[in-house]
Amino acid sequence: MSIVADENTRVVIQGGPAGVNAARRMAEFSYLIKKPFNVRAFVFPPDAGKTVDVPFGSETLVVPIFATIQEATKAYPDINASLVYIAPNRALESAMEALKSDKINLVSMITEGVTEKDAKILAHEAKRMGKVYNGPSSIGIFSAGKCRLGVVGGSYENLILSKLYRPGSFGVITKSGGLLNEIIWICSQFADGVTTAVGIGGDAYPGTDYVSYLEMFENDPETKAAVIVGEMGGNLEERAAEWYGARKRRIKLLAVVSGFCQEVLPKGMKFGHAGAKEGTRGEGSARNKSESLKKAGAIVPQTFGALGPAIKQTYEELLAKGVIKPAKEISAEQLPKWPKSIDEAIKNGEVMVQPLFKSTICDDRGDEPVYGGYAASDLINKGYDIPHVIAMLWTKRLISDQEAELIKRIIMLSADHGPCVSGALATILAACADIPMAQAVASGITMIGPRFGGAVTDAGRWFKFALESNMSVEEFLAYMKTNVGPVPGIGHRVKSIHNPDKRVKELVGFAKSLGRPLPHLEFALEVEKITTAKKENLILNVDGTIAVILLDLGFPVESLNGFFILARTIGLIGH
């Protein structure tokens, strides 16, 4: 047997992420003891209607989230306990909701920082209803081999090390969460382990006190001895001593109390849990608690360190008397292993997973993205700019600062061209129709084609063709006239040789000032000389200029339109 929680305990968890984390720990234990998962549902109004995935060995269980306790217990009528992980300002009403359900008999509150008034109200109400309200600030309740409520017990490894997969003979009650786990471990090493271990929380007024649980342990035939870890402050240890001393008890009682250091510390200095707060003399002091427990017949070691040997001695005496039968040990091989996560296995080099697709430009497997072999933060710290990142991701090449400057200027000059172009119009129209940003911008992008922006790629393709084919300007124009039509990148509706496009002048001037070879640009300017002689508006336009400059920087034809899309997106977002 056990107390408070057993194999029939079915849980609803009230709360968000902290509750989900606890559920995952609880699933590990259910898996270890080969029992069904004991968490039925979550109640968390903000996420009502959604579900939570909980790993259960190599399977994944799906647990529903409800808005109210009533909905949860209606869907799962076997729910009989609630764990509360709701923030302090709503903890009272949440726990009260659970207490008021006629299905739920146990409410254990993990929330820390609950006001004393709220905790007192809950304790009072639970008592009136004949239910158990445990906590607040409780780490949880653990019935070895049967039921885990909360994260108590720690990691999967620790569950095995502390033999929590099978019941022992020692009941444990502590305020501290860490020490509860410590005592569970001690009981597994110095004795045969625990029946139930309860964390009552370190607040001033725990909902359920030592005495209530001692009474339960006394009535649980499997529990042969109880261990309590007390703390200065309050009078719950004194009440436990009174209970133990009141008459002959079946269970042995072992206890330690902390707070002797108070006797030598400055007055008023208080440590540890919220409940550890009272004087150095009289009721509430470590010495008084310790003495009361000793007088009542409990075994009270001088220090925490001496508790292990005391537990061992008690265990051996009870074993000799035949009160405790030696526990049937389960070998580690018989226990299920918790499977490793795939991430962990990959990290250890134990498995190889064929990737769905591979990226050669960006690697996200480390602490931060790596662009073509350079960590993003490195690029930042070494003073590189957005154009460097663009070139790295588009062509896997770390360009020079000079090239970066040219790209920057191209983007700046192409960022927008007013509302009258088809792309901007589409975006504005979409925005006016209350289409969200991403779709409105996309509407504009879809307009990029022969009449809007698309000329960059076309111009690039034909000028590149001309140079690759070693054509003269005349040969090129003749070829275009016969086979293609107007030369992409040449001609403007408004601008002309007498009214030049300032953007083109700017770009060409800067490109030429860099003193690097610009074969495509020079070829295009030669073309312009001939075409403008025929008709003065057949100038090298901005699309053509951008195309030939980018070709001269070594960008592939396929990437050219990318510059326009990138640049104009700036304008479209603005519109």
Binding residues (CB under 8 A) for other proteins: these are 21, 25, 88-89, 112-117, 120-121, 123-124, 139-140, 151-155, 158, 161-162, 174-182, 185-186, 202, 204-205, 229, 231-232, 234, 256, 258-261, 263-274, 276-277, 286, 302-305, 308
CB burial readout 225-256, b (16+ within 10 A) else e: bbbbbbbbbbbbbbbbbebbbeeebebbbbbb
User: Smallest distance, Å, CB 174 to other proteins?
Assistant: 7
Alpha helices by DSSP H, 33-173? 69-75, 88-100, 116-129, 156-161
Residue 86 DSSP class? -
Question: Distance between CA 146 and CA 6 in Å, rounded?
Answer: 5
CA distance 531 to 365: 53
For the chain, the residue count is 575
Structure tokens that stand for 459 in this block = 């111009």
Cβ-based nearer residue to other proteins, 368 or 474: 368
Structure-block tokens of residue 413? 């000059």
Q: Cβ distance 164 to 184 under 8 Å?
A: yes
- Residue position matching structure tokens 């495509």: 520
Q: What is the DSSP letter of 260?
A: G
Residue 518 token pair: 């610009």
Interaxial angle between packed helices 88-100 and 116-129, expressed in degrees from 0 to 180 and rounded to the nearest 10: 0
* CA terminus-to-terminus distance, the chain: 71
Q: Which is nearer to other proteins, 112 or 501 (CB)?
A: 112
Shortest approach of other proteins to residue 5 CB, angstroms?
16
CB of 4 to other proteins, least distance (A): 18
Rank residues 152 and 191 by Cβ distance to other proteins and give the closer one: 152
- Please report how close the Cβ of residue 90 comes to other proteins at its closest, in angstroms: 10
The residue (of 9 and 138) whose beta carbon lies closer to other proteins is: 138
Q: Least CB distance from residue 141 to other proteins, whole Å?
A: 12
At 528, the amino acid letter reads E
Of 248, 246, 247, 228, which is closest to residue 289 (Cα–Cα)? 228
- Provide the annotated active-site residues: 273
Is the Cβ of residue 183 or residue 508 nearer to other proteins in the bound state?
Answer: 183
Distance of CA 149 to the CA centre of its chain: 22
Select 119 or 390, whichever has its Cβ closest to other proteins: 119
Between CA 91 and CA 377 the distance in angstroms is: 43
Q: Which is nearer to other proteins, 182 or 237 (CB)?
A: 182
Quick check: 192 and 168 in contact, CB under 8 A? yes
Tokens encoding 207: 């909902």
DSSP secondary structure code for residue 436 in this structure = -
Q: What is the DSSP string of 194-240?
A: EEEEEE--SSSS-SS-HHHHHHHHHT-TT--EEEEEEESSSSHHHHH
Q: Measured from the CB atom, is 210 or 564 closer to other proteins?
A: 210
Please list, in sequence order, all residues whose beta carbon lies within 8 angstroms of the beta carbon of residue 559, skipping any fewer than 6 positions away: 394, 395, 550
Smallest distance from other proteins to CB 200, Å? 11
Tokens 């209607």 belong to 49
